[in-house]
């Protein structure tokens, strides 16, 4: 990096450059934007970053992002708690919520089983899901994992554990192309996949 910059500018450019999809040119442009910005605007960005790190927790029921011990969905009065929709990440939950077709509650796994990457079932919230189903009045568990092989393996693993509870297990319809991701699917595609969900045997 050019030594023509001050040390603090160099640091800011370096930090921006660590963000996904941000190359050196963009990092430089962002840093100059902050330098020229109104101080209140720049500090608002710094505070938003600080707050999201210090205030964001995991919901103690579903492991969605939350600022209280229980997330807004789990504490929502109009949610059908007998339906649990299982997703890999909070961003998948957000994509499903945007369809407006969901009245259920969620369970966020935290990823999928990937032994080669060192992600074992114990690293996910699978045991907590089984516990929820065992304890509560759950009628249906809807698997809304991404359409790829690693996620399919995770679904098989979870359904083998849930089978003993007798709960109905369904899965989003196969409208989503293999290898695609729930977070990028259109609202229409997701709504169709929700309506057409099929029972897993």
Rounded Cα distance between 44 and 162, Å, is 46
Shortest Cβ 61–Zn ion spacing (Å): 5
Out of 13, 27, 61, 141, the only residue in the binding site for Zn ion (CB under 5 A) is 61
Q: How far is the CB of 141 from Zn ion (least distance, A)?
A: 15
| Interhelix angle 7-17/24-36, nearest 10 degrees | 130
For position 83 contacting Zn ion by CB under 5 A, the verdict is: no
- Quickly count: other Cβ atoms within 10 Å of residue 46's Cβ: 10
Among 16, 27, 64, 192, binds Zn ion (CB under 5 A): 64
Q: How far is the CB of 85 from Zn ion (least distance, A)?
A: 11
Least distance in angstroms from the C-beta of 173 to Zn ion: 25
Tell the smallest beta-carbon distance from residue 60 to Zn ion (Å): 8
Regarding 74 and contact with Zn ion (CB under 5 A), the answer is yes
Span near Zn ion by CB under 5 A; candidates 74-82, 118-126, 127-135, 193-201: 74-82
Q: Which of 71, 102, 126, 176 binds Zn ion (CB under 5 A)?
A: 71
Q: Counting contacts by CB under 5 A, is residue 109 touching Zn ion?
A: no
Tell me the closest approach of the beta carbon of residue 108 to Zn ion, in angstroms: 8
| Cα distance between residue 141 and residue 76, in whole Å | 19
Distances from the Cα of 14 to the Cα of 7, 17, 53, 92, 189, angstroms: 11, 5, 20, 30, 39
Q: Which is nearer to Zn ion, 74 or 142 (CB)?
A: 74
Nearest to 176 by CA among 62, 108, 99: 99
Choose one: 59-67, 84-92, 152-160, 166-174; the region binding Zn ion (CB under 5 A). Answer: 59-67
Judged by CB under 5 A, does residue 62 bind Zn ion? yes
Q: Taking CB under 5 A as the rule, does residue 59 contact Zn ion?
A: yes
Residues 165 and 174: their CA atoms lie apart, in Å, by: 25
Positive/negative CA dihedral, 200, 70, 111, 175: positive
Q: In what order do the strands lie in the sheet with 104-108?
A: 104-108, 80-87, 140-143, 168-171, 198-199
| Residue numbers at the binding site for Zn ion (CB under 5 A) | 59, 61-62, 64, 71, 74
């Amino acid at each position: 990096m050019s030594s023509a910059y001050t040390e603090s500018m160099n640091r800011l450019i370096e930090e921006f450059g660590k963000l996904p999809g941000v190359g050196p040119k963009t990092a430089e442009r962002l840093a100059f934007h902050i330098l020229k910005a109104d101080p209140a605007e720049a500090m608002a960005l710094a505070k938003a970053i600080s707050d999201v790190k210090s205030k964001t927790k995991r919901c103690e029921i579903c492991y969605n992002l939350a600022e209280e011990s229980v997330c807004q969905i789990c504490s929502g009065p109009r949610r059908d708690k007998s339906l649990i929709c299982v997703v890999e990440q909070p961003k998948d939950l957000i994509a499903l919520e945007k369809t407006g077709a969901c009245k259920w509650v969620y369970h966020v796994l935290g990823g999928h089983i990937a032994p080669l990457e060192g992600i074992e079932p114990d690293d996910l919230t699978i045991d907590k899901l089984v516990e929820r189903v065992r304890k509560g009045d759950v009628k249906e568990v809807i698997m809304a994992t991404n359409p790829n092989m690693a996620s399919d393996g995770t679904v098989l693993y979870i359904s083998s554990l849930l089978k003993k509870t007798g709960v109905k297990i369904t899965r989003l319809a196969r409208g989503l192309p293999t290898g695609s991701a729930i977070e990028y699917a259109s609202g229409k595609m997701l709504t169709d996949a929700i309506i057409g969900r099929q029972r897993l045997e």
